[in-house]
Amino acid sequence: MAAKLSDDALDTIFRSARSYNGYTDAPVTEADLHAIWDLMKFGPTSVNMLPARLVWCTTPESKEKLAALSSGTNGAKIRKAPVTVIIGMDSDFHEHLPTLFPHADARAWFAGDDKVAVRKETALRNSSLQGAYLIFAVRALGFDTGPMSGFDNAAVDAAFFADTPNITSNFIATLGVGDPTTVHGRSPRPPFETFNRIV
């Protein structure tokens, strides 16, 4: 059984962590992006399907292209962040299952035109899980993030996934070293009894 994380580690990942609206000038390197992936890829997904497909926007050009397709204040956040990642989802994830899940013929469970809706639902669920793992990996490696959904999905898909129509956008997240002046006071987190029941 794994050892319990320290309170400091739990604070870093959960209790003291915040969703940031702005960042310092501290850089995020390509090696950092590899390190984030090399942690998040170990989070569990159904039959190890790993349907998330990530596009890391690091250049002014790519960030501007994404910012122009975002709503409200999200465009400004994307332009100023060191990196913004698009978490996409591959509805043809099953084609990789012979490699990713060699224990059984899992590809056959999702193959065929009659399984398109099932694949899309499954890709959404599991890429969302991977997006959460990304958030935890970013925090564990000493960075901060600001996940968001205020953007034109269809336009982002056309701009970033035009050559891969099986891949569509789920959500996006800025990341870097957070500027604490850009966060609001923490919103309420209710006690167990509010949203839980034990049966």
CATH of the domain at 143: 3.40.109.10
Q: Using 50, 70 and 90 to split pLDDT, how confident is the model at 128?
A: very high
Domain contains 29: no
In a domain, residue 2? The reply is no
Question: Per the structure, how many domains does the chain have?
Answer: 1
Mean pLDDT along residues 7-15? 96
Whether residue 99 is predicted with pLDDT greater than 90 in this model: the reply is: yes
Q: Which residues contact 55 (CB under 8 A, 6 or more apart)?
A: 85, 86, 88, 160, 161
- Bridge partners of 173, per DSSP, are 85, 147
In a domain, 59, yes or no: yes
Domain extent for 136: 35-176
Asked whether residue 3 is assigned to any structural domain, the reply reads no
At 108-121, the pLDDT tens digits run: 999 999 999 999 99
Quick one: pLDDT at residue 189? 96
Does the pLDDT of residue 33 top 80, yes or no? yes
Residue 67: its H or E element:
helix 60-67
List Cα–Cα distances, 28 to 39, 59, 96, in angstroms.
16, 12, 30
Evaluate whether residue 13 is within a structural domain. Answer: no
pLDDT at 62 over 80: yes
Tens-digit pLDDT profile for residues 130-184: 999 999 999 999 999 999 999 999 999 999 999 999 999 999 999 999 999 999 9
Identify whether 67 is part of a domain. Answer: yes
In sign, the C-alpha dihedral spanning 159, 32, 53, 128 is negative
For residue 176, what pLDDT is reported? 98
Flag whether 191 is in a domain. no
The answer to whether residue 88 is domain-embedded is yes
pLDDT for position 2: 83
